[in-house]
C-alpha cells in the first residue's frame, strides 16, 4: 500500500457524522489508486436512495448504481454515502440526479470511464430509469 498519508481523508474514521444538507454542501473524498496501470471496475450500489420531487415535494425512492474505472484516484465510500444521503431533502428530477452524480464523480476522481444508473420506483404507475456515462459514447 502507498505511503501517501491518509490524513487527507476528513470523513473516514470519524465517529461523529455531520450529514450534508444538499449535494452542494457534500464532499466526495478520494485516495490514491494503487493500480493505475490496470483497468478494473469499481461498483457502488445505493439501494435506499431518496430525493424530493421538485413539483409535488413528495419523496422519490430508487436505486443508484455507480461504476467506474479509476485512473489516479478512487472515491472513498463513506464520503460517497454521505454525498448520496445529501439528496434526501433535495428537490430534483430523476434525470438531474443521475447526471449530477456522474458529473460530481468525474470532477472528484477523473476516471477513465464511469456510468451512473438510477432505477426509480414507480409513482403514478410509471417507473423511471436513467443512465449516464463518461466519456459520452
DSSP-assigned letter for residue 89: G
Residues near 53 by beta carbon (within 8 Å), at least 6 away in sequence: 59, 60, 91, 93, 123
Give catalytic status of residue 60 as yes or no. Answer: yes
Beta strands 42-52; 126-134: pairing state: unpaired
Tell me if residue 53 is catalytic.
Answer: yes
Q: How far apart are CA 58 and CA 74, in angstroms?
A: 34
User: ∠75-80-84 over CA atoms, to 5°?
Assistant: 145
Residue 123, CA distances (Å) to 49, 56, 60, 111, 127 in order: 15, 11, 8, 34, 7
* Annotated catalytic residue, options 60, 74, 104, 109: 60
> What is the DSSP-derived secondary structure letter of residue 72?
S
Catalytic position from the list 39, 45, 46, 53: 53
Question: Could you list the active site residues?
Answer: 53, 60
Amino acid at each position: 500500500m502507498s505511503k501517501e498519508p491518509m490524513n487527507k481523508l476528513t470523513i473516514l474514521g470519524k465517529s461523529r457524522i455531520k450529514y450534508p444538507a444538499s449535494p452542494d454542501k457534500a464532499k466526495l473524498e478520494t485516495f490514491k489508486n494503487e493500480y493505475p496501470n490496470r483497468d478494473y471496475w469499481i461498483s457502488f450500489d445505493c439501494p435506499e436512495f431518496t430525493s424530493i420531487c421538485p413539483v409535488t415535494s413528495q419523496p422519490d425512492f430508487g436505486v443508484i448504481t455507480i461504476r467506474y474505472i479509476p485512473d489516479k484516484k478512487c472515491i472513498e465510500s463513506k464520503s460517497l454515502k454521505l454525498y448520496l444521503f445529501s439528496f434526501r431533502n433535495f428537490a430534483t428530477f430523476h434525470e438531474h440526479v443521475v447526471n449530477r452524480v456522474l458529473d460530481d464523480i468525474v470532477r472528484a476522481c477523473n476516471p477513465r470511464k464511469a456510468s451512473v444508473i438510477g432505477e426509480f420506483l414507480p409513482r403514478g404507475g410509471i417507473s423511471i430509469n436513467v443512465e449516464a456515462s463518461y466519456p459520452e459514447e
